[in-house]
Amino acid sequence: MAGAKEIRTKIKSVQNTQKITRAMEMVAASKMRKAQERMREARPYAERMRSVIAHVSAANSEYRHPFLVARDEVKRVGFIIVSSDRGLCGGLNNNLFRQAVRELDRWRSEKVESDFCVIGNKGGVFFRRLGVNLLASTAHVGDAPTVDALVGTVKVMLDAYSEGRVDRVFFIYNKFVNSMTQSPVVEQLLPRLPSDEDEVRHRWDYLYEPDARDVLDHLLNRYIESLVYQGVVENIASEQAARMVAMKAASDNAGGLIDDLQLQYNKARQASITQELSEIVGGAAAL
């Protein structure tokens, strides 16, 4: 009978695929929860840091750190881009890259060239193919990234800024809105834009050791690093959420495919039985 056996093998293979996508869905769900936890844990540091910086810079208004001063003329901009190391997470990376390319084109139309630092494997591959000026890249930061793993890439960009090779630094990553929504965002990292949260409620006259300038330099470096770290963690949570959704869709599709195949199989089986029966009846009639 045409295909009954082949259909059965096909069903088997789709079932196997479905098992894998189901497993991946569950793994992604648990990793997403862990990443969300990490996002939450990283928050206090950045908040404390922001309040200390606000205090210190309010108390030392005469010293303006270059990270806080906007430059009038923008000749070159830098991008730090966070992407995932692995695929199978729907359109997450592509949406992000599209956003980045749009930014790049926007600056290009104003005759401003761009430099890139890329975190994550997918971004490295994409931007290499795009042929942009890649200053640094880090890949395989894993599901539980450490600040250590990111320091190098961030430092390259901060140095470029300090030395005046770039006049603005943007940070592009996927913001984790909820498990169904992740949206690529472009944030200006340097110079740091003052925000409402920088409002100082109480003002202390600090003692500084060794001096205010040294402390502020140190603080700002760490602050930028912590922002990047947070973005990376958020991107990981987004990646897992996107993968979870993509794998759920894949499992559902596999289910639909199995139903169709099952129907085909039943039809084929029935047809073969009918044929056999009619052969027997025909044979009996001939006698």
Partner 1 sequence: MPSTIRLDIVSTERELFSGECAMVIAPGVMGELGIMPRHSPLVTRLKPGEVRAELPQGGEETFYISGGILEVQPHVVTILSDTGNRAEDLDEAAALAAQEQAERMLADRGSDIDEARARAELAQAAAQLQAIRRLRNRR
Establish if 236 lies at the interface with partner 1 (CB under 8 A). no
- Which of 42, 96, 141, 250 touches partner 1 by CB under 8 A? 42
User: Within positions 177 to 216, which residues make up the interface with partner 1, using CB under 8 A?
Assistant: 202, 204-210, 212, 214-215
Cα separation, 223 vs 164, whole angstroms: 20
| Contact with partner 1 (CB under 8 A) among 27, 151, 257, 258 | 151
155: contact with partner 1 by CB under 8 A: yes
Q: How far is the CB of 115 from partner 1 (least distance, A)?
A: 10
Q: Closest approach of Cβ 51 to partner 1, in Å?
A: 9
CB nearer partner 1, residue 15 or residue 60? 60
Residue 127 Cβ vs partner 1, minimum distance, rounded to whole Å: 9
| DSSP β-ladder status, 133-138 and 168-178 | unpaired
**Distance of alpha carbon 166 from alpha carbon 163, whole angstroms:** 8
The site map against partner 1 for 80-119 (x = CB under 8 A) is -------------------------------------xx-
Residue 287 CA to residue 284 CA, distance in Å, equals 5
DSSP 146: -
Classify residue 201 by its DSSP letter: S
Contacts 24+ apart (CB under 8 A), 31-34: 31/143, 31/236, 31/240, 32/179, 32/237, 32/240, 32/241, 32/244, 34/143, 34/144
Among 120, 124, 184, 231, binds partner 1 (CB under 8 A): 124
**Cβ neighbours for 119, distance < 8 A, ≥ 6 positions apart:** 80, 81, 82, 83, 137, 138, 139, 141, 150, 153, 228, 232
Strands 181-190 vs 168-178: parallel, antiparallel or unpaired: antiparallel
Q: What six digits make up the tokens of 85?
A: 């190391």
Say whether residue 33 binds partner 1 (CB under 8 A): no
> Cα torsion at 42, 79, 68, 161 (round to 10°)?
120
Name the segment binding partner 1 (CB under 8 A); options: 36-44, 64-72, 81-89, 105-113: 36-44
Q: Which is nearer to partner 1, 118 or 241 (CB)?
A: 118
Minimum distance, C-beta of residue 262 to partner 1, in the bound complex (Å): 25
For residue 188, give the H/E element and its range. strand 181-190
Nearer to partner 1, 204 or 256 (CB): 204
Exactly one of 89, 169, 219, 245 binds partner 1 (CB under 8 A); that residue is 219
As given in the structure block, the two tokens for residue 64 are: 């303006």
* Least spacing, CB of residue 205 vs partner 1, in Å: 6
259 forms part of the interface with partner 1 (CB under 8 A):
no
User: Shortest Cβ distance from residue 134 to partner 1 (Å)?
Assistant: 4
Q: Which residues bind partner 1 (CB under 8 A)?
A: 38, 41-42, 44-45, 48-49, 52, 55-56, 117-118, 124, 128, 134-139, 146-148, 151-153, 155-156, 159, 202, 204-210, 212, 214-215, 218-219, 222, 225-226, 229
